[in-house]
Amino acid sequence: MISVTNIVKYHGPTRILDGASITIRKGEVAAIIGPSGGGKSTLLRCINGLELFQEGEIGVGDAAKLIGGQTPTKATLIQLRRMVGMVFQQFNLFPHMTVLKNVMAGPIYALGKSHAEAETIAKKLLDRVGLSPRIDAKPWQLSGGQQQRVAIARALAVNPAAILFDEPTSALDPKMSAEVMRVIDDLADDEQFQAAMVIVSHDLAAVKKIADTVHVLNAGRVAYTGPAAEAFAPGGPVEKME
């Protein structure tokens, strides 16, 4: 579903990603962990076309392919935006729009749905993340945890093949963090939900609970890939990393 093959990415002279390869299957929850500056956010940004890379290949689904050193066509980028949802640390909601409109935007602009169809999709998703009572609020009227749940509903609204979470709870206090992780956990457990999920997080307890597979990214290289049970085993790679 998502295949990242030997990605190399430079910022100026610095090699930020140094031949990273990762495969994430449909329905799988993959965690990317590792030291600060290791390239986790950069890798996610390459997967959804927000950043270019110099070498290697990224495929999402059967259709969207990004090739190192090549500027993707507009059509590829549009396709990628439809297929990949992204949830950021700082929520990044549209500040001037209501909660409902934030979630309707994707179906209308990316999928070409009618206003009525988009509203039905958005209301269902906002119910799923527990925000039905707040659909007419503006983002600034919500708590951080509520804003992040809106951001998740917004990412889901285009029915993506993959959803990427970059430290979705690190700006939140423990209670709000738990609310957001519950929503992600619920998606992970949902048999109907077949998107590949990638979560970058420093919250190792949460990662241990929800991830199927763990990848440790260190200095732009994948230093370890394995099942979560093995990664978190006593004396395993996660313990060694700490």
Q: Which of 1, 24, 30, 40 binds ligand ATP (CB under 6 A)?
A: 40
The Cα–Cα gap between 170 and 139 comes to: 18
| 30 close to 24: Cβ distance less than 8 angstroms | yes
Q: Cβ 200 to ligand ATP, closest distance in Å?
A: 7
Whose Cβ is closer to Mg ion: residue 17's or residue 105's? 17
| 112 close to 134: Cβ distance less than 8 angstroms | no
Whose Cβ is closer to ligand ATP: residue 15's or residue 138's? 15
Asked if residue 142 binds ligand ATP (CB under 6 A), the reply is no
Whose Cβ is closer to Mg ion: residue 41's or residue 76's? 41
User: Which range of residues in 22-30, 33-41, 56-64, 112-120 is near ligand ATP by CB under 6 A?
Assistant: 33-41
- CA dihedral sign of residues 105, 106, 107, 112: positive
| Structure tokens belonging to residue 140 | 């600034």
Asked if residue 201 binds ligand ATP (CB under 6 A), the reply is no
The Cα–Cα gap between 121 and 110 comes to: 14
| 119 close to 110: Cβ distance less than 8 angstroms | no
Whose Cβ is closer to ligand ATP: residue 2's or residue 104's? 2
User: Which range of residues in 31-39, 66-74, 111-119, 181-189 is near ligand ATP by CB under 6 A?
Assistant: 31-39
Q: Which of 36, 116, 234, 242 binds ligand ATP (CB under 6 A)?
A: 36
How many residues line the site for ligand ATP (CB under 6 A)? 9
| Structure tokens belonging to residue 205 | 């307890």
Q: Cβ 225 to ligand ATP, closest distance in Å?
A: 16
Window 45-74: residues binding ligand ATP (CB under 6 A): none
The Cα–Cα gap between 55 and 104 comes to: 36
The Cα–Cα gap between 157 and 111 comes to: 10
| Structure tokens belonging to residue 67 | 């090739």
User: Which range of residues in 40-48, 95-103, 125-133, 187-195 is near ligand ATP by CB under 6 A?
Assistant: 40-48
Distances (CA, A) of 68 to 19, 56, 65, 72, 184: 11, 5, 10, 9, 31
Q: Cβ 38 to ligand ATP, closest distance in Å?
A: 4
Binding site for ligand ATP (CB under 6 A): 11, 16, 36-42
